[in-house]
Structure 1
Amino acid sequence: MGDEKLPIIVLDGGLGTTLEDVFHRDISNPLWSARPIEHEPEVIIEAHLSFLRAGARIITAATYQCAYNTFENAGYTRADAQRIMRKAIRLARTAKERFLAEQPAVGAGDIKIALSFGPYGSTVNANEFDGMYPPPFGPEDPERNTFLREEDDRYEQSLQALKNFHLERLAVFSEDDHSWNAIDWIAFETVPLRREAIAIRMAMAELAASGVPLKPWWISTVHPFGTYPEPVSAEESGDGGHLLPARQLVHALLGQSTRHPTLPVPTAVGINCTGVTFLPDILRDMSAATKHLQSGSTRDKPMLVVYPNGKEWDLERKTWTHPEAEDQDRLRAWDSTLVGILKPYVEAADGAWGGFIVGGCCKSGPAEIAALASRIAQL
């Protein structure tokens, strides 16, 4: 690599919790952060602007929970759902334009808009954290998120259902040139299951086959309390229930198989909506698995995307906390911890990654992103 410095791009923070904590909006509804798109568009623009002013160079549109079924549950027609989803991109673009007018020294190409897509579970009672999906997206047994050896047909049905779910959302934007041209990245976030990662890649393959020019894209995975929600299946371990090795997760994100030999590879992969204190072990294992998968490959290295939560979730008290301190001490602890964890990977002479996208997820607002951007600038 020589003296070449790998790119580090600052991502924004958690839009939904920022609307709650900074802009004092109630988002406790099926649409979550998407509700203000229709009723308070200016607050969405201001939230995006707050992150841009803090130093973020990628802002994520308010589309995380946008899907036809979530809008239907909130009482909207399919036509209204489509209109509102596309409006979210216009609001992000408006924020970008206003920021560029404020900061003429910043180039238009330096500010990127990411289309945000949560997993299927984000549309069904926040099941993105355990991957317990109803049929046909998951098993009949509500206590399992993986399929048994004898359920191969249902596994394939699940793959197709998940692929169609993501492809349908992609089509909302790809079929509208105005929206698609404004989008720079596609972020598939908080993915709790390997088969959903594979289904996302299948959806992107089908989109490309239809003639749509693909954007750079990432898949980020969720690791509640430091572990991936999907255990090793009974087919793989004999009895199931064991923690999933990183190599199997990375293979779903970046690899190929006899069953799916030509899946497109994401521009970036990584972790979001996970406590920062869990990152060292997860990143160590994911980086080693990625480097192993690349052995002998001429393909470009993927970027690593990492955006942990700004606080830790206390399961017993059902509240957000920080394990060390609050207020300004907490800010310093969060950004310094995150950058300290990432620094060895950024400085590695022959590492697994081709660049980095770093930001925050839930409970990371403009203040956290400003502190993070300042620290990253010193690397």
Structure 2
Amino acid sequence: MAVENPFTRFGGRPVILDGGLATDLETHFGKDLSGGLWSAKLLREDQESIKAVHRRYFDAGADVATTSSYQASLEGFASVGISHTDALRLMRLSITLAIDARSEHMANRPLKDTRPLPLIAASVGCYATLLADGSEYTGIYPADVTEETISAFHISRVMALLGSESPTSTTQHHQPDIIAFETIPSLLEARALALACSTHPILSTFPSWVTFTCQPNGRVAHGEKLADCIAALDIAPSIVAVGINCTDPALCEDLVRIAATAAKGRTVIVYANSGEVYDGVRKTWIRKEGVVGGPGWYAECARRWVEAGADAVGGCCRTGPEHVRAVFEGLRG
């Protein structure tokens, strides 16, 4: 059975993604996101702020909301004393909050705005989110972590998000439009996702995207070629979009060209960080000398990414609604 690509609803126009959810929670709402759960901690502590961030991105022009579940996992919630039942509820809540924000936005959208209904992308961070050690930027996992280990981890998280944790689950809740496997750092994890999305009865029929965190010279964080990582996904038709995220914007134009060639008709996505570098030890972002990083500069980067072959563009860490608004105005305004 063919899997529908939800990006096709936009008719070939550049799709505008949202920006950094955690960034806006920290900078605009003053939230402390320290700890292993990152923004997912607010699923229990402050749900209204999460919904408000989604609204801010929709109002800025985003066609896609990425849920607050990037760092959320059953194991991660258990590590801070949250029960299995409550962890499942919180993970599903991340989708409901985004959908509710979309409904509120649509109720207040001007009638002259005829853009399609925005998509809800359920965020599933890489295996590094379980380790909470910044290894999404290196791809260096413990030696005993195998392709099967990573595949099982992702299947468990997606089933929790979709309310299909077990074959007997009858939980009914809102569903996302697409699964977003984000910040994938290695060929090993690409193969694990391909395995999961080609063999699992639900993942093989539910649309998803896979985006990689990259370094210079067309390589992903762990060092393999981006083209090889994308090619590894070919066995999974349900992976309808591929690309780059949380990567230096200065690298993305060349990376998009590589992704567009390797995509074989799939949607090409890019959402970079602000140009700063993450220090996984100190858990802080460091500004690079000579990087502008402002909304106008970022929008010009996005324009070049579209010219290079990107179909969907947005922001990742350290970008906010002002960046998304500038991208929207530059491409669609």
Bucket of the pairwise TM-score, normalised by the shorter protein: 0.7 to 0.9
* Distance of 2:123 and 2:329 partners within structure 1: 25
* Distance of 2:276 and 2:255 partners within structure 1: 16
Q: Is the 8 Å Cα contact of residues 312 and 323 (structure 1) preserved in structure 2? A: no
Question: Could you tell me which of 252, 273, 276 is aligned with 2:246?
Answer: 273
Partner residue in 2 for 1:8? 14
* Distance of 1:374 and 1:345 partners within structure 2: 19
Question: Could you tell me which of 350, 363, 366 is aligned with 2:318?
Answer: 363
SS at match of 2:30: coil
* Distance of 1:331 and 1:375 partners within structure 2: 10
Instruction: Identify which range, 220-229 or 187-196, moves more after superposition.
Output: 220-229
Which ranges of structure 2 fall in alignment gaps of 5 or more residues?
1-10, 165-169
Instruction: Identify which range, 273-282 or 314-323, moves more after superposition.
Output: 314-323
Q: Which amino acid aligns with 1:20?
A: E
* Residue 156 of structure 2 corresponds to residue 168 of structure 1: yes
Q: Which amino acid aligns with 2:252?
A: L
Q: Post-superposition shift, 1:56?
A: 0.3
Q: Which amino acid aligns with 2:136?
A: E
* Residue 82 of structure 2 corresponds to residue 95 of structure 1: no
Q: Post-superposition shift, 1:216?
A: 2.4
Taking a change above 3 Å as real, the CA distance of residues 322 and 75 of structure 1, as seen in their structure-2 partners, is: same
Q: Post-superposition shift, 1:224?
A: 4.1
Taking a change above 3 Å as real, the CA distance of residues 178 and 11 of structure 1, as seen in their structure-2 partners, is: farther
SS at match of 1:267: strand
* Residue 119 of structure 2 corresponds to residue 131 of structure 1: no
Q: Is the 8 Å Cα contact of residues 100 and 108 (structure 1) preserved in structure 2? A: no
Give the TM-score taking structure 2 as reference length: 0.85
Q: Is the 8 Å Cα contact of residues 190 and 221 (structure 1) preserved in structure 2? A: yes
Question: Could you tell me which of 252, 257, 264 is aligned with 1:284?
Answer: 257
Taking a change above 3 Å as real, the CA distance of residues 377 and 322 of structure 1, as seen in their structure-2 partners, is: farther
Q: Is the 8 Å Cα contact of residues 311 and 364 (structure 1) preserved in structure 2? A: no
SS at match of 1:274: coil
* Distance of 1:374 and 1:286 partners within structure 2: 25
Taking a change above 3 Å as real, the CA distance of residues 213 and 178 of structure 1, as seen in their structure-2 partners, is: farther
Question: Could you tell me which of 207, 212, 219 is aligned with 1:221?
Answer: 212
Q: Post-superposition shift, 1:123?
A: 1.8
* Distance of 1:107 and 1:331 partners within structure 2: 25
Q: Post-superposition shift, 1:161?
A: 1.0
SS at match of 1:64: coil
Q: Is the 8 Å Cα contact of residues 16 and 62 (structure 2) preserved in structure 1? A: yes
Structure with the greater alpha carbon radius of gyration = 1
Q: Is the 8 Å Cα contact of residues 311 and 320 (structure 1) preserved in structure 2? A: no
* Distance of 2:308 and 2:189 partners within structure 1: 30
Structure richer in helix, relative to its length: 1
Number of residue equivalences? 313
SS at match of 2:247: strand
Partner residue in 2 for 1:311? 275
RMSD value over aligned CA atoms?
Answer: 2.6
Q: Is the 8 Å Cα contact of residues 51 and 98 (structure 2) preserved in structure 1? A: yes
Q: Which amino acid aligns with 2:52?
A: E
